[in-house]
Amino acid sequence: MTVGEKIRRRRCELGLTQREVAGENVTRNMICRIERGDCLPSLDTLRSVAKALSVSVAYLVSEEDDYAAFSVMEALPALRDAYKSKRYADVLTLTEKLPPEGVSDEVAALAAAAALGLAERSMRDGNLKKIPEYVDRAKQYAEKTIIPTNWLLARCELCRAVAKSPESPKWEVKRDEYLANAEKAIGYNSYLYLTDEEGIPCSREAVKLHRDARDKIGKRRYREALSVLLSLEEMKSTGELDPYFLYRVYSDTETCYRELGDFEMAYRYSTKRVSLLREFRE
């Protein structure tokens, strides 16, 4: 696409006439000739036209036809540098200058993180009035990206709670919403399960049930534990149990049957456990 074709397309997108693009520094006839490809504009003319069309001179003379794509390519280095330097307000300013269709996944993720950064900075500075605005902007940008932002949404909830009630924010935290986002962000339920941590509450129902079964095994209440474990195994078809989880269920079920003297069933679950372990290693 030539410079003239770019000027004409952008002018039409904005609904401007050739005279409006020409302004005081360029004649309408010159704009017409440039668009037809009859002449090439001087640098001063390009600057004037670019300003009227709200684009950069670099875009008009580049090989990139898509203005939105070029805008992102042009803005990303500055956006990344601003975010890395914790100049969060600059990140939002640069993002807002992009055309709506130019807010790519990476740009939206950077803007969301920058808005959160401003919310947390306001919280530390005691400027609670600004927090809701920044939290809302963080959430709006988070919706525009496919990059996972659960970590961000969890922290936004903490900022929101402090702004809502600085005297007692713990009563304002939407616990379920926070925990759901935190789990997706860091997989803490998996951590609890893998490490057998007992002191931290777990939201995953299957893990709660297995904890209960293991507690009963520790108290030698094997029949009660077995009932829980068999109900857990029935959840296999729901996709709730990952293979490692299932391996531990089989192992504990084997223990219960063995302690109850049912060696045939103990052997059956031992076989299931060994078969699953073999699949892990294949």
In this structure, what CATH number is given to the domain that contains residue 95?
Answer: 1.25.40
pTM of the entire predicted model:
0.64
pLDDT at residue 222 in the model: 96
The number of folded domains in the chain is 3
Are residues 132 and 28 part of one domain?
A: no
Domain boundary among 154, 186, 218: 186
Q: Is 191 among the domain residues?
A: no
The CA distance from 46 to 10, in Å, is 13
Are residues 276 and 222 part of one domain?
A: yes
pLDDT tens, position by position, for the chain (282 residues)?
787 877 888 788 788 898 888 888 888 888 888 888 888 888 888 888 878 877 777 767 777 667 777 777 888 899 999 999 999 999 999 999 888 777 889 999 999 999 999 999 999 888 899 999 999 999 999 999 999 999 999 999 999 999 999 888 889 999 889 988 988 898 877 777 777 776 666 677 888 899 899 999 999 999 999 999 999 998 888 877 778 888 889 999 999 999 999 999 999 999 998 998 888 766
Domain boundary among 46, 63, 80: 63
Are residues 75 and 54 part of one domain?
A: no
Q: Is 83 among the domain residues?
A: yes
Are residues 131 and 89 part of one domain?
A: yes
Q: SS3 for 77-126, per residue?
A: HHHHHHHHCCCHHHHHHHHHHCCHHHCCHHHHHHHHHHHHHHHHHHHHHC
CA 165-171-175 angle, to 5 degrees, is 120
Q: Is 231 among the domain residues?
A: yes
Residue 2 DSSP one-character state? -
Are residues 211 and 148 part of one domain?
A: no
The answer to whether residues 7 and 21 touch, using CB atoms and an 8 Å cutoff, is yes
pLDDT at residue 172 in the model: 93
Task: List Cβ neighbours of 217 (8 Å cut-off, separation of 6 or more).
Answer: 225, 252, 255, 256
Are residues 72 and 59 part of one domain?
A: no
Are residues 151 and 89 part of one domain?
A: yes
CATH number of the domain where residue 50 is located: 1.10.260.40
What is the token pair recorded at 246? 């299932």
Are residues 219 and 164 part of one domain?
A: no
The CA distance from 43 to 41, in Å, is 7
The answer to whether residues 213 and 225 touch, using CB atoms and an 8 Å cutoff, is yes
Give the domain extent around 105.
68-186
The Cβ-side half-sphere exposure at 98, using a 13 Å CA radius, reads 26
Domain boundary among 17, 44, 63: 63
Are residues 47 and 95 part of one domain?
A: no
